[in-house]
Amino acid sequence: MTETIRLHMNEMPYPPPQRVVEAARQTLTKLNHYSDLQDLQRLQKGLADYVGVPEGHVILSPGSDLLLRELIHTFSPGRKVITVSPSFFPTVQAVKQFATRRLAFRLHPPAFDLNLELLTSALDEASLLILDNPNNPTGRALLNRPAVETIMDHRKVLLVIDEAYYEFSKVTFADMVASFPRLAVVRTMDKAFGLAGARVAYAIFGEVFLDALSTFQAYLPQPSLYAALEALRDASYMRKNVHQVVEERKRLRQALEALGVDVQPSRANFLLMRTQVPNAARRLRDAGVLVADVSDQLPPGFIRVSVGTGTENDAFLNACTRICETDE
């Protein structure tokens, strides 16, 4: 039986190096114990060094979705919660659950740009603004440094930026946290580091967030903790894999456009495409390739496809070619 190709979860298609796997495996005999506080502090310091911020500004969490949920739960009372649409689906769900007042700015195709002037006009009261940069599922960068500074000029606004795909976009605002206490940046090791199964996330918090979440303690499982520590010791393996994904992303986009498929430019490890082929996501699944049907947040025909290995991408392109030819 042919193995199903997973291009629906934005995972790194290449496994972590063996030394990272071994670091996790060596902790399995100690699963009856919680992780040591000293080891958690080592990871905090390692991530702080990696980001280039003081250690005290870094908070750990098992998954960025949990961090974002905690931020929304903590700061939504008494504030208007503002997001964009489409956005990271767990963020959308948490806002619907916890926020009594919410506002979503639509990113309209084909450009999917954020209208900064329209956004800032809504920041005249206490607000929690959550933006994913690059945006998921469009892959577009929504912010630049002047935009962040403009948002931060509004004194009643807390800004949370989800940088899950930082290593692919090379765009970050983490260094601005020291100057803006109402700024928080959320990241993950799921994507670029290939640790989706370990669920290691972290936030770089400004002082306002640190004060409110000083009691937030998220103990990582020992295998996750030691895998993350080992992955950070030499990030060159991660950077090599990121480079491969970016090159495959370019090739994939060119090949899809040659098939007549509309593909958005992306700063992440996925592409947003739109096809006129009916039920394309289901037909790709039937062909053994899983992709994300994002028509629940966008008009019909939009599909998000993660960039896989060269072999996986070829299989996806072959399946696309077949369903396009069948539809003619």
The domain that contains 246 carries what CATH number? Answer: 3.90.1150.10
pLDDT of residue 215: 78
Task: Go through 8-17 and write b for each residue having 16 or more CB atoms within 10 A of its CB, e for each that does not.
Answer: bebbbbbebb
Is the per-residue pLDDT at 327 higher than 70? no
CATH number assigned to the domain comprising residue 105: 3.40.640.10
Same domain, 173 and 278: no
Domains held by the chain: number: 2
For 100-111, how does the pLDDT look when each residue is reduced to its tens digit (9 = 90+)? 999 999 999 999
Same domain, 309 and 269: yes
Same domain, 159 and 188: yes
Domain that holds residue 271: 5-13+237-327
Same domain, 99 and 176: yes
- Report in angstroms the alpha-carbon separations of 217 from 52, 161, 213, 245, 290: 22, 21, 9, 34, 35
What is the mean predicted confidence (pLDDT) over 287-309? 95
Q: CA torsion 90→93→94→97, rounded to 10°? A: -160
For 12-23, how does the pLDDT look when each residue is reduced to its tens digit (9 = 90+)? 999 999 999 999
pLDDT of residue 216: 81
pLDDT of residue 93: 96
pLDDT of residue 2: 64
Point out the domain boundary residue: 233, 264, 299: 233
Same domain, 84 and 96: yes
Same domain, 201 and 307: no
Is the per-residue pLDDT at 191 higher than 70? yes
Same domain, 279 and 151: no
Is the per-residue pLDDT at 326 higher than 80? no
Same domain, 171 and 30: yes
For 67-83, how does the pLDDT look when each residue is reduced to its tens digit (9 = 90+)? 999 999 999 999 999 99
Same domain, 121 and 27: yes
Is the per-residue pLDDT at 315 higher than 60? yes
Is the pTM value of this prediction over 0.85?
yes
How is residue 204 written in tokens? 């770089």
Percent of the chain with pLDDT over 70: 99
Q: What is the mean pLDDT of the chain?
A: 95
For 110-125, how does the pLDDT look when each residue is reduced to its tens digit (9 = 90+)? 999 999 999 999 999 9
Is the per-residue pLDDT at 313 higher than 50? yes
Strand 201-205, strand 270-274: pairing: unpaired
Q: How far apart are CA 177 and CA 56, in angstroms?
A: 12
pLDDT of residue 1: 44
Same domain, 195 and 102: yes
Q: Angle of helix 64-75 relative to helix 89-98, nearest 10 degrees? A: 30
